[in-house]
Amino acid sequence: MKKLLLTYVLFSLSFLYSLAQDEVLFKAKLIPNTTYKLVMSTSSVSTVNFEADQQILDQIAASGTTLPMEVKAEQNFATTIETGDTGESEKFQFTTIYDDAYALQSLNGTPVPTPESPLKGAKIYGQVSGDISLKVDSVTGNLAPEFESSVIQMTEQLIKNIKYPEKPMKVGDQFNQEVPMTVPMAGASPMQILIITTYKLKSITDNKAHFDLTQELKLNGDMEGGNMEAKGSGTGFSVYDIAHHFIVDTSSDLNMNLSVKSDQFTVKAKANVKTSQKTEISSR
């Protein structure tokens, strides 16, 4: 009888656990006394061409520029985030260290010299409150004031980059995330675009939630109907660690087509952008 009762209890607990794993309330946050090691990389291949009168094309050629221009770029960041202990106020300190940061670029196969990233060796100190609210207190490193301001903003938005639904999700559910971006265009004004990413919950296994990503690129609403065009699409995946409330693996592959018209010429660009981020999490 005792064995039968124990078997029933274990079965019930297992059943309840499986039900709990069928629905998850997602919430990105940092945990006290934890170390996060992030490696982020972005690589892109872009082809830029001009459509214009022959006189303008001759001027471009005379400047030493070969059309179409093929631009390859790569950016890599390695950062460590360490969180402290909670106090009576339930706030805790965090430190972000840029262990490594570098960029590579080439134009038509010729490497373009790039200075050492000022981010390398930089440290950001701050505090976390309410799980998701990051407030930077100070920054050390060789950062220009305007760049330091951007780093502070980027750090404080780290946990808020993905806005999950406020209710639990089950396999098959999805949500959208819109991210505005500014794209510089050679010889023309920057383009304001919008990347819409759809996260679809594919599976929940081993305390990990796996999402499929689809992306759509379009002009920001304020720029529609003008002399600019933008379209694109992409795919990817994301893995969310349920126990640590944090994305530990994500990747995307985005193709885009952009064009800007002026009175004298049209700039057309095609680009493929690949991004990835992996995170190792350990308790201290």
Cα–Cα distances in angstroms (integers) from residue 55 to residues 69, 93, 143, 265, in the given order:
18, 61, 43, 11
Listed in sequence order, the residues at least 6 apart from 6 whose beta carbon sits closer than 8 Å to its beta carbon are none
Average pLDDT, the chain: 87
List the chain domain ranges.
24-283
End-to-end CA distance of the chain: 44
Q: What's the pLDDT score for residue 251?
A: 98
Q: What confidence tier does 104 reach under pLDDT thresholds 50, 70, 90?
A: very high
Mean pLDDT value across residues 227-244: 95
Closest CA to 249 of 29, 24, 38: 38
Q: Percentage of the chain surpassing pLDDT 90? A: 62
Q: What's the pLDDT score for residue 9?
A: 38
Closest CA to 107 of 71, 60, 61, 67: 71
Whether the per-residue pLDDT at 37 is higher than 90: the answer is yes
- Tell me if 36 sits within 8 A of 279, measured CB to CB: yes
Cα–Cα distances in angstroms (integers) from residue 203 to residues 16, 186, 208, 217, 242, in the given order:
18, 43, 8, 26, 12
Asked whether the CA dihedral 93, 277, 110, 107 is positive or negative, the reply is negative
| Residue 135 in tokens | 């407030």
Q: What's the pLDDT score for residue 146?
A: 83
Q: Percentage of the chain surpassing pLDDT 70? A: 88
Report which secondary-structure segment, H or E, holds 199. Answer: strand 188-205
Half-sphere exposure of 167 (CA within 13 A, CB side): 4
Closest CA to 118 of 139, 95, 94: 139
Pairing assessment for the beta strands 133-140 and 246-261 based on DSSP bridges: unpaired
Whether the per-residue pLDDT at 47 is higher than 70: the answer is yes
Alpha helices per DSSP H over the chain: 2-22, 54-62, 145-156
In this structure, CATH architecture of domain 24-283 = Roll (2.30)
| Residue 212 in tokens | 């499929």
Q: What's the pLDDT score for residue 16?
A: 35
Closest CA to 248 of 37, 42, 26: 37
Pairing assessment for the beta strands 265-283 and 23-24 based on DSSP bridges: unpaired
Mean pLDDT value across residues 54-83: 93
| Residue 109 in tokens | 């196969």
Listed in sequence order, the residues at least 6 apart from 58 whose beta carbon sits closer than 8 Å to its beta carbon are none
Residue-wise over 242-264: b if at least 16 C-beta within 10 A, else e?
A: bebbbbbebbbebebebbbeeee
The per-residue pLDDT for range 112-136, each reduced to its tens digit, is 999 989 999 999 999 998 766 899 9
Mean pLDDT value across residues 70-79: 96
Whether the per-residue pLDDT at 204 is higher than 50: the answer is yes
- Predicted TM-score of the model (pTM): 0.84
The per-residue pLDDT for range 156-186, each reduced to its tens digit, is 887 777 889 999 999 999 999 998 888 776 6
The per-residue pLDDT for range 3-30, each reduced to its tens digit, is 443 333 333 333 333 444 578 999 999 9
